[in-house]
Structure 1
């Protein structure tokens, strides 16, 4: 019962954190959908206004960090579907067979012009709409294109001008839980290595692998914040502050990947019953501590000197471990510690040359 309650509590906390992270997206989508419907239906008197709010929601929700590009893809797909659909239907008419042919040709043309999945979806769905209408029905090509323009344009206006996210705040909220999870599993792996608990080490590895989706979400949030600071005049003053997060994000992604590989090798080390000098798990634990300190320094807006110092402590510990009789997997774990510390030092503001020099890479 205690374990079940702990699991429920953890899931509830994760759900609340996800809601805090993406609530601004829900607000943006709702506002963009309402405005798009109003413009398409009331101002433009569009006979098919439903696609305008659908386009707005798709632009905001489907590509959080690339709203402008998403709008361009939306319009490109619609225009392509309209051109191909109108041309073929004018020659062979409409119906189920014609609809299938129109869709196949529209998507093929999108592929020829190197359109991505979004362009192909819009080209295909537009072709379906045009190919399935009755010949006597009103022409939907122009309304469909107008709706795409209205929905995509309003989505961009809402996301960048009317209700732009606070780039630094959302990055804080996204990065915090991810770094905590990252550091906690490194601590678990270090303790497992120190005690020879292969099951605990494997559990830490599984948790790191499962956290890949959360890491990608954090990357997506950073991309959204970058777009806002680049294009929204209300957020330009945040550019310098966010630039530090962008640099850190790139290196922390590499540190995450290499740490996961390191924990995988910890499992192999324990399975092979190789020798474990005390400094090896200490180095992993110390690196996890430096991750936590890096996040605190970022939150406080100060230079991460403390995090750098702790990372260098991890380097010293792993150097002492290398002076002992490490096995095959143990040497790989030690090498991975050097690599992840190097990435953290660069995330903390060091140049690659400086990090290579002090981390021994």
Structure 2
């Protein structure tokens, strides 16, 4: 539909606008619903885990320990489960200490000065200050303030201090027990994230090759944008890998997966280098198009072969046989970059150098040592080599 004056829309134009907007709105709505359902599915285990842990913590504190109102037990269980595996031991201790400080300071303050707005302000500041002086982090400091506020306003019972701390400790222990029953998704996710990063790199290289071949500014600009945004994917992979390693270390039910999870975690460093080198490579290709600089005709093909090797590494995470093909493709590409004549122009030289560096980074992702990877990218007579 052509551009229209919003002040002078005719009835036909309004109908046309409605016909254009309605399908788009419906598609966006369906996509939004799918995303929300998928997000709920990915968190369903965590939701169930928190709910069951809270119920168990309350039941133990009420029926086993004999506390009439074990408010802090389910709260501590849910708070502790809200953190990743690698943080839970420390977080449980922080929650318990924070509750102890908050409840203790709150009870003493209420006993001495009573309750009220002024007392509330002072007791929160005092409890948080004590926590900071004890070397607490943000969570412990916040817990101290929250518990002091609860004691001062909702539960001003000086005699219940130790039982409240017991409830918090019990809730933390229940959270640790629940955490040992870890979902398999925490084991699969690092591999899926690594595959996603490699596939994205492959697509970026293909888009760069197409843009370079067609001298398409829009294509190379989009490829550069995607390359710059790839850090977020690597951050997701790093977090997933750390979570997976923590799961297999702490959960006795998942320890048999330790080797496979550690293999994925070991990919993060060389993959980070590959992403950085790819970003520089794509940027220089984009600059050459923007400035209409001459590039060797073979470069787009080299980028596509690099993309093939990257894609095969991603496939090898699920199909180990693809690892051999990736190694062969990258080795052939490394030898080809050693035989090419030195190009004319800064951008062409930079792209060739970045190609060689990226090949070595990707070879390391196949399990090749750094020294062996360098040996597969032979020395050039002009000194344009990875050091």
Describe the superposition over 1:93-121 as per-residue Cα deviations: whole angstroms up to 9, x where unpaired. Answer: 54333433443344445445553333333
What corresponds to 1:341 in structure 2? 359
**Aligned mates of 1:14, 1:314 — CA distance in 2:** 40
Pair 1:184–1:272, CA change in 2 (3 A): same
What corresponds to 1:142 in structure 2? 162
What corresponds to 2:14 in structure 1? none
- Give 1:26-175 correspondences, 5 Å limit: 26-86=47-107, 93-133=114-154, 135=156, 137=157, 139=159, 141-160=161-180, 162-165=181-184, 167-175=186-194
- Give 1:123-272 correspondences, 5 Å limit: 123-133=144-154, 135=156, 137=157, 139=159, 141-160=161-180, 162-165=181-184, 167-272=186-291
RMSD over equivalenced CA pairs, Å: 3.6
TM-score (norm: length of structure 2): 0.75
Q: How far apart are residue 158 of structure 1 and its match? A: 1.6
Whether the aligned pair in 1 keeps the contact of 2:306 and 2:330 (CA below 8 Å) is: yes
Residue 62 of structure 1 aligns to a residue whose secondary structure is: coil
Pair 1:210–1:272, CA change in 2 (3 A): same
Pair 1:40–1:273, CA change in 2 (3 A): farther
What corresponds to 2:314 in structure 1? 295
Alignment partner of 2:343 out of 305, 317, 324: 324
**Aligned mates of 1:10, 1:183 — CA distance in 2:** 26
Larger radius of gyration: 2
Whether the aligned pair in 1 keeps the contact of 2:313 and 2:322 (CA below 8 Å) is: no
**Aligned mates of 2:132, 2:299 — CA distance in 1:** 51
Q: How far apart are residue 9 of structure 1 and its match? A: 8.3
Describe the superposition over 1:14-68 as per-residue Cα deviations: whole angstroms up to 9, x where unpaired. Answer: 7676566554434433432332333334434445544433333333333254333
What corresponds to 2:16 in structure 1? none
Alignment partner of 2:324 out of 288, 302, 305: 305
Higher relative contact order (CA 8 A, sep 6+): 1
Pair 1:76–1:271, CA change in 2 (3 A): farther
**Aligned mates of 1:173, 1:55 — CA distance in 2:** 32
* 1:355 corresponds to 2:376: no
* 1:282 corresponds to 2:294: no
**Aligned mates of 1:265, 1:14 — CA distance in 2:** 36
**Aligned mates of 1:315, 1:276 — CA distance in 2:** 19
**Aligned mates of 1:206, 1:96 — CA distance in 2:** 53
**Post-superposition, which runs of at least 4 consecutive aligned residues in structure 1 deviate over 6 A?**
1-17
Pair 1:9–1:97, CA change in 2 (3 A): same
How many residues were matched structurally? Answer: 358
TM-score (norm: length of structure 1): 0.80
Q: How far apart are residue 133 of structure 1 and its match? A: 4.5
Stretches of structure 2 lacking an aligned partner (at least 5 in a row): 1-19, 378-385
Pair 1:197–1:99, CA change in 2 (3 A): farther
